[in-house]
Structure 1
Amino acid sequence: MNTPSDTPSLNPAFLGKDSPLPRSPEEAQLDYVPNPRKGALFLVRFVAPEFTSLCPVTDQPDFAHLVIDYAPGDTIVESKSLKLFLGSFRNHNGFHEDVTVGIGQRLSEEMQPRWLRIGGYWYPRGGIPIDVFWQTGPAPEGLWVPDQGVAPYRGRG
């Protein structure tokens, strides 16, 4: 896995190449490249409205709308590697809390952003939607942090 300490380059492993979906999140490699606006305080948002993983009890698919916001430090995550990482959860068994927080923690530990938060808006399981939120701490002063824009679950009404 490429981390900031590996001296990120402008030659990510997946960009512009055929890249099979990793078999598991542990196998997935996240690529990081130098922040092109190092020193500037700005927010990056990734939205995965069709995220899936598997229930660890029933093996049935679970669906979520993920929103990942971060203020870059020295690096940014390369989006294709993030897409492959998130896709690797399709065959991964995990509770909503473990999956959501685990994604946020891995990105935070490897990328070392100034700030990161993740919102996991899970569709109902057993009639109950589950929303999971995690962040590294308070947002840096002066960072514009818009609402994640995901409406509360309303079912059919």
Structure 2
Amino acid sequence: MNNPSPPDDGSRLLTQLGQNTAQPASPEEAELERVPAPERGRHYVVRFTAPEFTSLCPVTGQPDFAHIVIDYIPDEWIVESKSLKLFLTSFRNHGAFHEKCSMQIALTLVDLLRPVWLRIGAYWYPRGGMPIDVFWQTGTPPDGVWIPSQDVPGYRGRG
């Protein structure tokens, strides 16, 4: 008697979770993975916070640092967190301006997940004495969904 195939919950397609996975050399080489949302049809917010995000200035090659907050309301898919961590750390040797890094993260997630709603708050630490923060969202979130504040304090210098 043949055993029936397990239902395709998307996890059979995961190649990084539970594996020793090399750090991608660039965001373009990173593989973001997704799994089916566990509560389809319900609107809830998923938050990922990367308080030690790092990339490189494309002109000087000096490191840039940011506190990144990603909020999204899933539709059919959620992002697999290990693949997201690898994707975010792949920016460590990637030279791009703050705006480009922030939008590349957001748009890559939107393309992969096709969420109901997504926003990114990228709170960059000062370069040349001034912080550059980047905010973007896909549109208005659905009514009735609790969207928590990102609560990342703005840069205040030494005062």
What TM-score do the two structures reach when normalised by structure 1?
Answer: 0.94
> What SS does structure 1 have at the residue aligned with 2:155?
coil
After TM superposition, give the deviation of residue 31 of structure 1 in Å.
0.5
Query: How does 1:13-28 map onto structure 2 within 5 Å?
Result: 13-28=15-30
| Counterpart residue type for residue 9 of structure 1 | G
C-alpha distance in 1 between matches for 2:58 and 2:19: 33
Gaps of 5+ in 2: 1-7
Contact 1:8 1:75 in 2 (8 A): no
Partner of 1:9: 10
C-alpha distance in 1 between matches for 2:93 and 2:104: 15
Partner of 2:5: none
C-alpha distance in 2 between matches for 1:44 and 1:19: 24
Gaps of 5+ in 1: 1-6
| Counterpart residue type for residue 43 of structure 1 | V
Contact 1:67 1:120 in 2 (8 A): yes
Partner of 1:150: 152
**Moved segments of 4+, more than 6 Å:** none
Counterpart of 2:111 (choices 109, 112, 115) is: 109
Larger gyration radius, structure 1 or structure 2 = 2
After TM superposition, give the deviation of residue 156 of structure 1 in Å.
1.7
Contact 1:53 1:91 in 2 (8 A): yes
> What SS does structure 2 have at the residue aligned with 1:47?
strand
After TM superposition, give the deviation of residue 29 of structure 1 in Å.
0.4
> What SS does structure 1 have at the residue aligned with 2:146?
coil
| Counterpart residue type for residue 84 of structure 1 | L
C-alpha distance in 2 between matches for 1:103 and 1:89: 10
After TM superposition, give the deviation of residue 8 of structure 1 in Å.
6.5
Partner of 1:39: 41
What TM-score do the two structures reach when normalised by structure 2?
Answer: 0.93
C-alpha distance in 2 between matches for 1:26 and 1:70: 22
Partner of 2:4: none
C-alpha distance in 2 between matches for 1:31 and 1:71: 17
Superposed CA deviations along residues 27-79 of structure 1, whole A, max 9, x for unmatched, are: 10000000011111100000000000000000000000000000001000000
User: How many pairs does the alignment contain?
Assistant: 151
Is residue 117 of structure 2 the alignment partner of residue 125 of structure 1?
no
> What SS does structure 2 have at the residue aligned with 1:128?
coil
| Counterpart residue type for residue 120 of structure 1 | A
Is residue 50 of structure 2 the alignment partner of residue 48 of structure 1?
yes
Aligned CA RMSD, in angstroms, stands at 1.0
Contact 1:8 1:32 in 2 (8 A): no
| Structure that is richer in strand per residue | 1
